[in-house]
Amino acid sequence: MEWFSTFYETYGDLLIKGTLDSLYMTSISTLLAYVFGIPLGVLVVLTAQNGLHPNKAVNTILGWIINIGRSIPFIILLFAIIPFTRLVAGTSLGVKGAIVPLVVTAVPFVARMVEQSLADIDAGLVEAGQSFGANTWQIVYKVYLKESLPSIIRGAAITFISLFGYVAMAGCVGAGGLGDIAIRYGYQRYKPDVMVVAVILCVVLVQLVQTIGDFIARKVDKRVVR
Partner 1 sequence: MIQIERLNKSFGSADNIHHVLHDIDLTINDGDVFGIIGSSGAGKSTLVRCINLLERPTSGKIIIDGKDVTNYKGKDLLDLRESIGMIFQNFSLFQQRSVLKNVTFPLEVNGKKMSKSERLERAHELLKLVELDDKIKQYPSQLSGGQQQRVAIARALVSKPKIMLCDEATSALDTKTTASILDLLGSINRELGVTMVMITHSLAVAQRVCNRIAVIDDGRIVEEGTTAQVFGNPQSPITKELLRNDNLTTMSQTGDESDNSSLPEQA
Asked if 52 is part of the footprint of partner 1 (rule: CB under 8 A), the reply reads no
Assess 138 for contact with partner 1 (CB under 8 A): yes
Whether the CB-CB separation of 156 and 213 falls below 8 Å is answered with yes
Q: Which of 127, 196, 211, 212 binds partner 1 (CB under 8 A)?
A: 127
Q: Is 132 a residue that touches partner 1 (CB under 8 A)?
A: yes
CB nearer to partner 1: give 59 or 105: 59
- CA dist., res. 181 & res. 185, Å (int): 6
117, 150 contact by CB (below 8 A)? no
Asked if 83 contacts 97 with a C-beta cutoff of 8 angstroms, the reply is no
To partner 1, the closest distance from the beta carbon of 109 in angstroms equals 24
Residue 149 binds to partner 1 (criterion: CB under 8 A) = yes
Stretch that binds partner 1, among 12-20, 53-61, 127-135, 205-213 (CB under 8 A): 127-135
57 near partner 1 (CB under 8 A): no
Q: To the nearest 10°, the Cα dihedral for 142, 123, 45, 213? A: 60
Nearer to partner 1, 8 or 215 (CB): 215
Q: Rule CB under 8 A: is residue 146 a binding residue for partner 1?
A: yes
In the set 133, 188, 190, 203, which binds partner 1 (CB under 8 A)?
A: 133
Cβ atoms of 170 and 99 closer than 8 Å: no
Should residue 221 be labelled a site residue for partner 1 when binding is judged by CB under 8 A?
A: yes
How many Å is the Cα radius of gyration of the chain?
A: 21
Options 131, 188, 190, 203; binder of partner 1; rule CB under 8 A: 131
The 3-class SS string of 122-136 reads CHHHHHHHHHCCCCH
Q: Which of 1, 57, 203, 224 binds partner 1 (CB under 8 A)?
A: 224
Q: Does 119 bind partner 1 (CB under 8 A)?
A: no
Helix (H, G, I), strand (E, B) or coil at 189: coil
Q: Which residues bind partner 1 (CB under 8 A)?
A: 122, 124-125, 127-135, 138, 142-143, 146-147, 149-150, 220-224, 226
